[in-house]
Amino acid sequence: PIHQVVTFFQLYDALTTFYIIVMIQSIAIYHALFLSFVLIAFSSQTAIGSSHHSSPFYHPLIKSRTRSSLFSKNLPLSSFVSKDQYILRGGAGDSNDDDENDSGDDDDDEERYSRQVYTLGSRAHSLVRKSTIIIDGPLRSGLAYESIKNLALSGVGKIIILDNHMGSVNDEGLVDDYYFDDTMDDLGAVYRRGALRECFPNHKEDEVVDDAELMAEYVRRINPNVKVCIMKRKDFLEGIKAPEKSLEEIVDLVGTNPVLLCVDRPLSTQIMLNKACRMIGGSSSSDSDVLSMTCIPFVSIETAGVYGKVFCDFGDDFHIVDEDGETPKTTLLQSVERLDSNDGGEVVMNCLEGERHDVSKGDVIDFQFKNGISDQQAEYLDSVELIVTYVKNPTCFNVIVFSKKEKQQKIEGSELDKIIDGMNINVNGFSRVKIPRAIPFLSLEKALAAQNDPSENLFAASDLEKSFDPMRRSAIMASFGALESVKKAKSTLSDSSDENDFVNAVMASSCTDNKQFISIVSSFARCAKAKFTPIQAIYGALGAQEVLKAASGLYNPIRQFLLYDCDEVLVHSNQSAIENDKSPASGMKYILGKGLVKKLSSQKIFVVGSGAIGCELLKNLAAMEVGTKKKKGGCIILTDMDTIEKSNLSRQLLFRDGDVGKFKSIAAQEAIQRLNPKVHVIVHTSKVGDQTKETYFDDKFWSEGVDIVLNALDNVEARLFIDSQCVANQKPLIDAGTLGAKGNVQVVVPCQSESYASSTDPPEPTIPVCTLKNFPYEISHTIQWARDLFDGLFNRRPSQVNEYKQQISSMKPSEFAKSLFDKLGEDAAMDMANELAEDCISFDTANNDFPEKLKLFSLTWACQLAKSLFYDAFRDLLKQHPIDSVDDEGIPFWSGSRRPPTPLRYSDDLSNPEEMNINKSIIDFVRCASRLRIETYLTDSLLGDYNYMTQFHVSADDAKAALTDFGLEESSHSDDATSFQRRLTGKIKIAKMNSSGIQNGLNSMEFEKDDDANGHVAFVASASNLRAIAYGIPPVDAMETRRVAGRIVPAMITTTALVSALSCIELVKLIQKANLRWYRNAFVNLALPFFAFTSPLPAETVQGLHGLTFTLWDKISIQETEKQSLNGGITLRQLLRRIKKKAQKGEESIEISNVSFGPYMLYANFLHGDDDDVLDSCLQKLVEDAVSSGDIEDEDEELDVEEVKTEAQIEEVKALQRRQYLDFTVIVEDPETGEEGELPPVRLVRWRQK
């Protein structure tokens, strides 16, 4: 049930964000009603207003007996529960550093997998790195290559390739060779060609390369850290089933964390392998009572044409540690109160105004205590457990309080009142607790027998329109079931007669004559012979993701079948064309027809970005023969201005370790040529969207040089620009994006659908300045504060010295002080003077004692900084607002989101653990701050001298000694009575005196998140955690600090591969020119798993004047004549006449009210109606002057055409002169009624000599 997978509010938020607009506006109302029905069904036990539990409030897994095992996915609960048998953040817990990593981790692991770690968490990632994946499938299968690629990039520890390619019957009496036809597998052919060219560059066509060895070597190239070996299937089966084998011997064979992935195998082989996985040491795991016995999780994936299926069996007792991988939200608490006197002990939890909780019925709640709570009170409140019984609304819910010590005994009466009082006094907020749970799986044989039993709920939803159709499900399952017997008898499905036999065989076994059933089976038979590249890529992603779930216990697995197809592409295909096609066979031609494949190969496809999504798109396009007809204009245009980094290698297929530092687009082109040398790739490394520079991507390119655009971008600004160009030039666009396990695809169909910009995501929440400065209550607040501190201390301030050092040395202190005051004002001028006095320090690098002096100076500065930030500032804030102070309304000042800070100081008291922890944090801060301060004063040559730099190393002992010597003397304020000007001048004098020796300036630093050696993240983490400790916020590790401070987007290869494949399906529909209802926008979450597909919304109709209607795709086009061009260009008066003539319909007259170019107004009838100078001006010149001035609307300022333009303005004007067309916004009005209306965009096409 979905209520066990995702909370109501999580599901509500996700669907609201992506689909509420769809439901409201879609003309297909039944889609909206159906989606609403599914929402109700999914949230039946968690929705607002749900009834109370009737059963005891404890999680069944806590009471169940768990089995210990050498296989990590069935670990005992105690091995992964961190607090009171609950997971506070599943999937992100710390891994066990004492465990030996069998996967051969090296030093670059963290950098290579950093984006994936932010998705999976360190605990789950560690298990993935220690896993062994056994793969059984045809060694030339594109689905096998795709799955292995995803697993290798994900960093599994070891891959065992089972080799059964012997052309003989195996020990179970099964033959697999007939089941797979590699001539109809385009993706497999591309992968194999690329592997041969990469791994064996000198290979000759007549030389035989073992398929298993080729696949193994390819995996090593993809990820050198993954171990690969080849094993005979017979040896594997004998090794795990032999009764005399001990579990330790089996572990030696398959590893401590094995998962078996079965790819493109007959159903009988799938059943045989699944049985073997459930028979460890010759005993069935379901019947055995031996604690150490378990099963090997089993995943099977298979495709046939445009259809596919996944099956998962993870054993009778699989433990899910974290179902969604999301960090529970910490919500601030307003109050806690009893429901009423006869409530049976229920308590009402009220969130702070403006806060929304994310809890659902049945959730367990964990406290976040206020600063200053006593250990006794904290222990008392920790002894109780709160379980949600009723969700009233997003800000209020009910709980029942239980005692942890008394085995889930409900607390009532006076004891409950005492707990409520304690929560109101000491609890600042709460978060839901993630509880591991155990779920049972059926074997494949049993699941097939029970597939039509609704009570078993064996099918996961993959398409809300298709998945809940039982007839469709039955038809596809029956077709897959019959595929083995038909292929065994026929060897292949070669013509229509074979397809008829297939349909008859399925009908006979299913005993039905339902027309829908027959239609689906016929479609299946029609394409089952071949493999469809996008479908293979989808199932390769799904299969790999389920394997990772089995290995880590992270995310909710598929239970147990999942079916997905794209048979809507068959509606427009012409399969009969393949029968008369004498060219080499291919899966694409067989499924879609020769004509459509020819169109695909002749298209000009613009791929924007060659990162993770871009690499997957390019690989799929190469397999789909896109851009192979160079003589017909076919090509792939690729651009990306980024270079390859180590962290890209865990999800970007086309790059290798040796490519680090290269341009992504160039390296991608080289890789694509290995996969399919027929693909014509045009490569660029320039930015799309910089219209001020002359690039390849000009108006001519957008109008003539591209047919379809595929977005593989990572920012909204670039997406909006691409979208605007596609709308302006009526080009199709497919946009894809990912965020961890979530992904989305949007297709923009010219003249039919809305555009990408038609709907916008809500803006990212910003943190108020007052919250950052004085009242943080979340760790993100302290991290952002520390990030700003870094920029101020090590970027802004050194740059400030470099900017003003010349003026300081040349001007009198009083004159410079006055200039600061006049420019900045009193407070800002004094702040800058203090900083300059601190920073303008020169050292004689030639002296032998230079390192010692600089190190001592920096340590002293860091100690003073720590005192100022974490003691003086908090002390002053508490003086200004004492703990017992109230605001103007009589409400305690320190309430709600405001937390009183605790001033922190270095202490010699080693008996207090809390003080020792504070000491350690202050030492870390001083060490990190002094290290960066030292580097500020060193020249580049010294920074590059490693031996010299060792003299500046700051150890923890150095920082501790400096703090001990520094003490905590009170700051002196004796100069408060001194005049401001005198104090300001005094600071400048100090700066002038000390800056005389600064020759080359100071080093300013840009925050770099991915280089641990530079100390940037370490400084931010130490500063953030000290501030968090002071405000009672739980600190976080450097990994989480890096994510927030560096604004890192979590990513993993499986999500990327999935959305790229979905994009390619939509590409096929665009070539087919399908009706809008056949296209699919997609939102997926592989963690849940959750899939939602909807048709794109039609373009919104805009109501104009006199009944005129238009959409964003419409425009009024006006062609400049040769004569007008030779006379300097069309004038404004001529343009207005042409617009009026084209826009006026019938006898109703219109007047043009105003004309604008972007944000610049060029004409307004009430201002320029009689202004002949403006009306007779060249339109091009008016636009150039408007853009140059930046503000043509201000009539009080006359435009000085002789004014010297800046370099940027000159570039803008040049860019306008290169444009082939200009688009204008025109407002018209009815001269009789005064009613105004907007026209479609008016495009002026400039005359160009051919």
- 216-220: Cβ within 8 A, 24+ apart: 216/159, 216/161, 218/145, 218/191, 218/194, 219/148, 219/152, 219/159
Burial of 385 (0-12, 13-18, 19+ CB in 10 A): buried
Query: How many residues comprise the chain?
Result: 1250
Both tokens of residue 346?
């229920």
Instruction: Give 928-962 as a DSSP string.
Output: HHHHHHHHHTS-HHHHT-HHHHGGG---HHHHHHH
Q: Which of 360, 347, 351, 353 is nearest to 330 (CA)?
A: 351
Beta bridge partners, 735, equal 711, 746
Q: Which of 298, 325, 295, 299 is nearest to 10 (CA)?
A: 325
Q: Which of 684, 877, 653 is nearest to 776 (CA)?
A: 877
Q: Which of 919, 1093, 970 is nearest to 462 (CA)?
A: 1093
How many angstroms separate the first and last alpha carbons of the chain? Answer: 66
- Beta strands 364-369 and 384-393: pairing type? antiparallel
Per-state percent for the chain, helix, strand, coil, to nearest 5: 45, 15, 40
Q: Scanning the structure block, which residue is given the tokens 């851009």?
A: 627
CB 524, CB 475: distance < 8 Å = yes
CB 779, CB 1036: distance < 8 Å = yes
CB 996, CB 841: distance < 8 Å = no
Burial of 770 (0-12, 13-18, 19+ CB in 10 A): exposed
Collapsing DSSP to helix, strand or coil, 593 comes out as coil
Helix (H) or strand (E) holding 1083: strand 1081-1085
Beta bridge partners, 403, equal 384, 409
Neighbouring CB atoms inside 10 A of 5's CB total 21
Beta bridge partners, 384, equal 403
CB 1011, CB 108: distance < 8 Å = no
d(CA 11, CA 13): 6
Instruction: Give 529-574 as a DSSP string.
Output: TSB-HHHHHHHHHHHHHHHHHHHH-BSPPP-SEEEEE-GGGGGG--
The DSSP code for 1193 is: S
Helix (H) or strand (E) holding 390: strand 384-393
d(CA 976, CA 1217): 61
d(CA 534, CA 542): 12
Both tokens of residue 1202?
């002789």
By annotation, the residues acting in catalysis are: 770
CA separation (Å) from 727 to 543, 609, 689, 757, 811?
37, 20, 15, 10, 57
CB 518, CB 483: distance < 8 Å = no
Both tokens of residue 506?
């399925």
Q: C-alpha dihedral over 1198, 1202, 1203, 1205, to 10 degrees? A: 120
d(CA 1174, CA 1170): 9
